[in-house]
Amino acid sequence: TESNQFCDAGIGHGESACGVSSSSSKILIKGGTVVNAHGEEVADVYVKDGIIVAVKPNIKVGDDVTVLDATGKFVMPGGIDPHTHLSFEFMGTETVDDFFNGQAAALAGGTTMHIDFVIPVSGSLTAGFEAYEKKAKKSCMDYGFHMAITKWDEVVSKEMEIMVKEKGINSFKFFLAYKGALMINDELLLEGFKKCKSLGALAMVHAENGDAVYEGQKRMIELGIFGPEGHALSRPSLLEGEATARAIRLAGFVNTPLYVVHVMSIDAMEEIATARRKGQRVIGEPVVSGLALDGSGVWDPDFVTAAKFVMSPPIRASGHDKALQAALSTGILQLVGTDHCSFNSTQKALGIDDFRNIPNGVNGIEERMHLVWDIMVESGQISVTDYVRITSTECARIFNIYPRKGAILPGSDADIIIFNPNSSFEITAKSHHSRSDTNVFEGRRGKGKVEVTIAGGRIVWENDELKVVPGSGKYVEMPPFTYLFNGIDKADAEYLSSLRAPVKRFKSTD
Ligand code: URP
Ligand code: ZN
Ligand code: ZN
Ligand code: ZN
């Protein structure tokens, strides 16, 4: 390969930028502030063959190494998005972003891994897994899978075991909403929780009361409210609070850890706060739409604009956003996802006459890192180390892939971003990398910019240009019994011994 002095740019920009194809993959990131969840230091980072091999000051290398100057910038673990739906067949259509272009969008925004939800095919986990394996073949960044459980029988129970022991899945999502589609009842939820616990898999819930949502939808239709605002009105935060509380109590009854996805309201957040205060292991995941937006969007007089904000649970009224931010800053909520589930205007128009037919979902996979920086760090609510924790490290810990992911440490995967806090970002559908023609964060701008993304040791985003290769992303298997399970057995033993304590009774005699 050519050496850096022949490049037009002052700093080495990697062989690919010069059109030289390369499998050699040595990169030195010089002079940046390396940030991990546990601390920050000025250091160089040396990457070889997809792995971080050294993190220390003044690393000297030969001229076969691509050198990136990060002076004055933050060098951080690439983002991990715990919640996405790429190539998701839902509500009669399929999301526009697939495992290649959705991931490319992620990389342009500094996210280097995501965990997507495998949806069973007619209840079959095996068929669902195979379908998602196919969808993910073209991946250009690393990914993992959660799996949804949509029915219950002996086969599903056995398949859960196979998924955990052979397929690298350590989390299952239960939908308490979407009646008639993905929704399950409390009996199934309890069976699922018990099975999760026995396998060391993390139970996740979509917490809205689906029966009550159904009732709320009928109420709106009877009132003649057919537009996108009917979506929000039909499923108030009360119903999110109820389902969150129910899932928490049932997980507590089984004594298994619980992960509440897309926490959108104060109601749900307060339930999580209360449970955690009592010592229960509950993780709460807000998503960037819930943190960055208020619910006014669905009231827009333009249908296309209003419909793009339709997601479940709904984006709540102003006030919920600030409360979720505060909860994130104080550790009541632990990590940020996106629920990236992108539909274009034509697809959203399936519900032009009836909000119940608007495909549910918003974007975020490309915007998360910038918006969380802006909302949480620029605003002064959290430190840069906490930023790394909530966008990357905590996700890696919860899903048991730390420190391979979520850290800049020798031996970790080379998933790295160079972030310039003095630059700025701007979001618009005109230039985003999603295939959708709309963006719920349209027009947002703020300080800070992901200037370089390195994924699996390759420079994939630099100078506002993507260099992505289909098939270069790897499936990341996630082992069971994450840290959330530590000590669960001891609590169980204590509970059992308390039950077996002999009760002394006097025989009643005449
Ligand atoms: O509206 C949403 N959230 N769509 C994606 C499916 C889900 O519930 O996560
Ligand atoms: Zn060059
Ligand atoms: Zn959901
Ligand atoms: Zn989702």
Residues whose Cβ atom is located within 5 A of ion ligand 4: 339
Q: Cβ–Cβ contacts within 10 Å for residue 446, how many?
A: 17
Q: Using only C-alpha atoms, what is the Rg of the chain?
A: 24
Ligand 1 proximity of 363 Cβ (cutoff 6 Å): no
Q: Cβ–Cβ contacts within 10 Å for residue 481, how many?
A: 15
Q: What is the mean pLDDT of each run of 10 residues along the chain (510 residues)?
A: 32 37 76 98 98 98 96 99 98 97 98 98 96 98 98 97 98 97 96 98 98 98 98 98 98 98 98 98 98 98 98 98 98 98 98 98 98 98 98 98 98 98 98 98 98 98 97 98 97 91 79
Amino acid (1-letter code) at residue 381: Q
Alpha-carbon gap, residue 288 to 330, rounded angstroms? 17
User: How far out from the chain centre does Cα 331 lie?
Assistant: 17
Q: Tokens 């109601």 belong to which residue?
A: 267
For atom 5 of ligand 1, which residue has the closest CA?
361
Residues whose Cβ atom is located within 5 A of ion ligand 2: 7, 18
Distance 402 CA to ligand 1 centre (A): 27
- Ligand 1 pocket mutation pick from 339, 340, 358 by most atoms within 8 angstroms of CB: 339
pTM attached to this predicted model: 0.94
Amino acid (1-letter code) at residue 345: S
Listed residue (181, 245, 195, 237) closest to 212, CA to CA: 237
- In this prediction, residue 503 carries a pLDDT of 83
Alpha-carbon gap, residue 146 to 132, rounded angstroms? 11
Distance 314 CA to ligand 1 centre (A): 10
Give me the DSSP letters along 366-405.
Answer: TTHHHHHIIIIIITTSS-HHHHHIIIIIHHHHHTT-TTTS
Distance 304 CA to ligand 2 centre (A): 45
Could you tell me the CATH superfamily of domain 4-76+446-466? Urease, subunit C, domain 1 (2.30.40.10)
Alpha-carbon gap, residue 153 to 298, rounded angstroms? 39
- Ligand 1 pocket mutation pick from 95, 360, 440 by most atoms within 8 angstroms of CB: 360
State whether ipTM is beyond 0.90.
Answer: yes
The CA-CA-CA angle for residues 308, 309, 315, to 5°, reads 170
**What is the rounded end-to-end Cα distance, in angstroms, of the chain?**
101
Ligand 1 proximity of 361 Cβ (cutoff 6 Å): yes
Q: What CATH number does the domain located at 78-408+419-444+475-485 have?
A: 3.20.20.140
Measuring CA to CA, how many Å separate 365 from each of 119, 199, 440? Answer: 19, 30, 12
Listed residue (74, 27, 28) closest to 451, CA to CA: 74
Q: Please, are residues 355 and 327 in contact by the beta-carbon 8 Å criterion?
A: no
- In this prediction, residue 11 carries a pLDDT of 29
Alpha-carbon gap, residue 365 to 338, rounded angstroms? 6
Q: Please, are residues 84 and 55 in contact by the beta-carbon 8 Å criterion?
A: no
Distance 203 CA to ligand 4 centre (A): 14
Q: Which atom of ligand 1 is least distant from the CA of 261?
A: 9
Could you list the beta-strand ranges (E) of 215-315: 258-260, 282-284
Q: Where in the chain is the domain with CATH 3.20.20.140?
A: 78-408+419-444+475-485
Q: Which atom of ligand 1 is least distant from the CA of 85?
A: 5
Q: Where in the chain is the domain with CATH 2.30.40.10?
A: 4-76+446-466
Q: Which atom of ligand 1 is least distant from the CA of 312?
A: 1
Alpha-carbon gap, residue 286 to 324, rounded angstroms? 7
